[in-house]
Chains A and B, each alone.
Chain A
Amino acid sequence: MKKKVSVILAILVGLFTLVAILLRPFFDLYLNLILKLGIVLASTATLVGIANLMLTHLRRVSTGKRGFFFSLIVLLGFLVSFIGGLYLGHDNPGYLKWVSSIRIPLEVSFFGLLALTLTYTGVHFFRTKEWSPLSISFGGSVLVFLIVKSGLVQGLENPIVDQVLAFIQRLPVAGSRGILIGISLGALITGLRVVFGLERPYGE
């Protein structure tokens, strides 16, 4: 019974939202209300997720599980930033500066590591990939766009070369447009499945 109620509720809310979006601006007031309810629900789910994560790390520390030191750092970092946010306010300039001074260097170093890994992966691809139509076309287009984007060929200032370059640079736009149409269709069908209750991620 509980399962049926949740399914019916999900379908009704989904259908109403769909119709309200299509008949805008007549149902804007209700649409805003549903959106706000959705935000409250999503925030509650996030709080549950955070609480679950913290409990898991607490358990790891209390049982002395391998790598518990990292769990301790997670817990301390969470507590300090959480209490700091509650005490000073989440928009306090001092608090924001303090959090940013930890977060930004970490993210920058992460991006640095990512740049290195991307370079290494690129080299590794050409060294180890077996020859197949996909790998040849992928590798070929990578080389072509590396050369085109480097600006070396543009320096020739030849009108025919410029026309060829303009054509080559339009290719990814056309290709990605095709891919994005396919992905949008997939998203639409997934949404319809959820709205009609044919896909129920909220219960097995």
Chain B
Amino acid sequence: MTNWMLWIVIGLSSFLMFFTWLLRKKNPFSKLRQLDAYTQLQEQNLAAFEKGKRLIFGLGGQSMLNEVSINDISGLPVFSRLSRQIVNGDQVPQAYCSDGVLACLSQSILDGVYKNALIPELFSIESTLLVGANNMSFVAGLLTEINTDSNDGLIMFGSLKPEALLAVDLAHRHNLYCQAISDSPSAQAIFYAAGCQPVIGEEYFAAGASLKAKPIYGISLRVQDVIRILIIIALLVGAIVKLMGLY
């Protein structure tokens, strides 16, 4: 993509975000389609809380040795929102990360959750751990933590690769609730086949809006939809122009 196209895309996205915020700041989540994969997360989280158990989080999945993916941080609003729900529970929220930066960020989020709940003394640095430096070691580290009695389910969120199926399979064998959400189309297909609720393509980015974590997530989801419609129109016009031999 040339620089002027990047300018246009970024400028248009920024303008649309500002414009949508002006239009929708009072009801950012109205008429947004609810996704079962995300609505179930809250229900299962509260069910675990009632039982005196917890859901554990597997965040990330991207190998530290490869390129950095901003998609990994999309799991943080989910972690923050669900942790806030169970902050007073018998079990502390627990996250296992595949990356040092993600581990530090999730620790910072959890620290904030406890401070906001006015119980900062309950925060423990053991609640968020870096368990592996590549995809395989992340899954291997996660496998050993799934077996704990205090767990009622596993939520995996990030740039997961098909290897994460091993963790999903183990969770199912222990009759634990399991939801794995990835931005990789191949991993999405595998998780669906393994019995997780389907999350297809860009639905990966709808987590914050579905959980109503912050108004900005609803606004950015609407902006994504508008830009997608513009791209579809551009593709159709381009195809017609090419068919007519005009370009």
Query: How far, in whole Å, are A204 and B123 apart by their CA atoms in the complex?
Result: 14
Partner of B185, one of A43, A138, A180, A204: A180
Contact A189–B17 (Cβ < 8 Å): yes
Q: Which of B7, B73, B140 has the most CB of A within 10 A?
A: B73
Residues on the B chain within 8 Å of A121, using CB: 165, 169, 190, 193-194
Query: How far, in whole Å, are A155 and B126 apart by their CA atoms in the complex?
Result: 58
Query: How far, in whole Å, are A187 and B201 apart by their CA atoms in the complex?
Result: 12
Q: Which of A46, A106, A194, A201 has the most CB of B within 10 A?
A: A201
Residues on the B chain within 8 Å of A122, using CB: 193
Contact A192–B13 (Cβ < 8 Å): yes
In this assembly, does B48 line the interface, its C-beta being within 8 Å of a C-beta of chain A? no
Contact B113–A204 (Cβ < 8 Å): yes
In this assembly, does B239 line the interface, its C-beta being within 8 Å of a C-beta of chain A? no
Query: How far, in whole Å, are A170 and B97 apart by their CA atoms in the complex?
Result: 37
Number of B interface residues, CB 8 Å? 71
Distance between B110 CB and nearest chain A CB, rounded to angstroms: 8
28 residue pairs of the A-B complex, CB under 8 angstroms, read A21-B6, A22-B7, A42-B101, A44-B100, A45-B101, A52-B129, A53-B130, A67-B144, A67-B147, A106-B136, A107-B136, A113-B166, A114-B165, A124-B194, A124-B195, A176-B185, A181-B228, A185-B202, A186-B71, A187-B183, A190-B70, A192-B10, A192-B13, A196-B14, A198-B17, A199-B216, A203-B109, A204-B108
Q: Which 10 A-B pairs have the closest CB atoms?
A: A204-B112, A46-B100, A49-B130, A182-B202, A186-B205, A49-B100, A179-B201, A45-B100, A49-B103, A125-B193
